[in-house]
Structure 1
Amino acid sequence: MADYATSYELFQALKTAWSLESSSSWSPENPAKGQCSVTSLVMQDLFGGSILKTKTSGGTHFYNVIDGVKWDMTVSQLDRPIPFEDSPATREEAMADTSEPQYRALKGRLAQQLNSRST
């Protein structure tokens, strides 16, 4: 998937990068809350692939497919299992669920986290 040692390290970097700047739903108790759209955009920036979506009781949930493998880095925000519809989504749809400042905040904070882990 990437130059990063493990997907676990990437997940840990994301958990640290998620903040109120990247989602107004963020909380220390549930750092992934509201981060799915912005995270799917940043993941696509880093690794390519495509963005998928599925309906949940809370709205549309976004995640990625990279090299044929489904990656949902924000599934921990959900309080129950969901049936994944795997409907194709566009960057525009994911961006409509977030904002440019939230996107830039997560992208910048994640880059800082990954750079600090590689040094």
Structure 2
Amino acid sequence: MDNHYPVQIEQIIKALSKSWSLDSSSKWSKDNPAKGQCGVATLVVHDILGGEIKKTKLPDGWHFYNFINGKRYDLTLSQFKEDILYMDIPSNRDEAYSDTNEKQYKYLKQSVMNHLPFSNIESR
């Protein structure tokens, strides 16, 4: 990861895993905390690090993830038991947002920001 980002992707991964709950996705469970979090997590990561939003078609619908500096970051991959054949189809915030709602998005963004080491990060 480039050093010009105030936050590293590893810090965001930790913050997301601490933040996921029923407040960020109605599909969340203790056994599978990443379930249903792809759209909302992708939006929050995009807010913090920018980059592109990509999607892949899965049996249950579209799966969203981030593409930053030419590298794929699927921070909710742990919700799946099977391997994913990534299609890397260009997507956007509106499509990722269709997988969540304002309450879940605001909750997850605030929680992630609270768990990051820099509390004064300006989001995009």
TM-score by length of 2: 0.87
Greater helix fraction, Structure 1 or Structure 2: 1
Indicate the residue corresponding to 1:28 in structure 2: 30
2:92 to 71, 90, 93: 90
| Structure 1 ranges of 4+ moved more than 2 A | 1-4, 6-10
Partner Cα separation in structure 2 for residue 106 and residue 9 of structure 1 = 15
Between the two proteins, the alignment pairs up a number of residues equal to: 116
Identity of aligned residues (%): 46
Local SS of the residue matching 1:63:
strand
- Cα deviations by residue, 1:65-84 (Å, 9 ceiling, x for unpaired): 01111111000001100110
Structure 2: stretches of 5+ with no match in the other structure: 120-124
Distance 1:66 1:116, change over 3 A: closer
Match of residue 20 from structure 2:
18
1:71 corresponds in structure 2 to 73
Cα deviation code 1:68-107 (max 9, x no counterpart): 1111100000110011000011110011111011100100
Please tell me the residue identity of whatever aligns with 2:31. E
Deviation at 1:115, TM superposition (A): 4.0
Preserved CA contact (<8 Å) 2:24 2:37: yes
Is the partner of 2:116 in helix, strand or coil?
helix
Aligned match of 1:46 in 42, 45, 48? 48
Matched, 1:3 2:6: yes
Distance 2:83 2:50 in 1: 26
The alignment's C-alpha RMSD in Å is 1.6
Q: How far did residue 9 of structure 1 move?
A: 3.2
CA positional deviation for 1:59: 1.3
Q: TM-score, normalised by structure 1?
A: 0.90
Could you tell me which residue of structure 1 aligns to residue 105 of structure 2?
103
What one-letter code is carried by the residue in structure 1 that aligns with 2:75?
A: M
Aligned twin of 2:60: 58
